Structure 1
Amino acid sequence: MQKPASRRFGVSLSWHFLALLLFAGSLLFGSGSAKASWSVDPVLRKAEKRYGRSGPANDRLQAWHDLLEGSRRKSEQEQLQAVNQQINRQVRFSDDSELWQRRDYWATPVETLARGAGDCEDFALAKYFTLLQLGVDPQKLRITYARALKLNQAHMVVTYYETPDAEPLVLDNLVDDILPASQRKDLALRYAFDAQGLYAMDHGALKRIGEPTELRPWQVVLTRMERQGFHLASVQSQSAGG
């Protein structure tokens, strides 16, 4: 299902930083592990103190808790569908200048769900960390920068690789269906990152071009998540150590 054009886009200018990193590099899919080790309960307790025990913010956060608890025993494909569907339904598009009065702000999953709004990078971050918490292998997930070809605008999605050489599936706030990248004729996948590195898309393969420590908004959002009760030491150590 295609979303209305007015709700589609809003990727920050931070992505222009990635264009500066296009240097020669070896092909790499990612060799480390960065399993999410946090429990959602401390995160929700901290969120409750900030946003209250009732109201729309609490309702959305409780629904997120229920999504996590109810999806742990599902197949990986079912988890992808459940997470993509729920985040898309619970979060409306809003750009950073309107929502945060900033030109560039990467929101944590708690901030996005509490507000019930975010831009495409916030959708992607919420889906990425939710899937990690459900136990999806981090080597299968990338946060990916794309170009929306028809409107010539920047966009961000989550890509899922069932195997290292598989065609990625695209989890997107523009289209509710999870489709292989080759079926998304409206998107051109350009760059990606995870806890191990920054990558350029090279004829379907991932070419490593830098370290995630070079992407400051990623480091900032991880630090803010730690303060909100997420225990992401493994993710941060992978980011620091490669």
Structure 2
Amino acid sequence: MLATLALDAGRAVSNEDLASELWSGNLVGNTRNALQAHATRLRKVIASPTRQPRGSTALRAVHNGYLLDVPRDCVDGNRFLSLAAQGAAELSVRPERSLELLQTALELWRGPALLDAGDGLRVRAAAALFDERRLTAWEDLVSSYLAVGDEARAIAELRQLVARHPLHERFCELLMLALYRTGRQGEALDLFRSTGRRLDEELGIKPGALLQRRHAEILAQDPALTLPTAVVPSQWEPAATAS
């Protein structure tokens, strides 16, 4: 119940939506009474006498529903999304600032998103969103390391990320770039080949256009690979089409 309300902090969630989230598909004798019982227990858990006036609570009953009356940035999930978005926006203009924002964002994590918050549709959809944004934030973080010239830290992070997500092409592509910049062109090309084999064996697909382009650039020892802009795909020009 707390997770569902926190995902919409500051906005009311109807009893019907709460019941659907908490007991989807299961019959409950009296959902209103069940929600009231949950709310009573929840208020005891989140009560903070040092922060709230006597008799008040962050969990409020409203017409046909409940509301978690806290600012949105009091919820770590919202803070993470905000910091990650700010970090991504700073990557191409102020990579040092991007690095700070993204590190702060990722330090908010303590494990899988909403791990013990039930199997309701809202919670599972939010967990999937957070997990996807976390991967993107890691991409941006290692890109920031590369943009400021810290290839050693980027390689250390990327080796772990590639091991955990071997089919995630962006991690592979960034690790190839980092290896190339540190004089390990052979390792970068080996990584491309092993990733290509894995994509073929497990998904039946070839490496994507961006990964193939990075491979071609490394083979050609393209001077642009040493520039900060090499880590930002949106700044790449479309590859030429063969006639």
Q: Normalised by the size of structure 1, how large is the TM-score? A: 0.28
- Of Structure 1 and Structure 2, the greater helix share is in 2
> Which has the larger Rg?
2
Q: Normalised by the size of structure 2, how large is the TM-score? A: 0.28
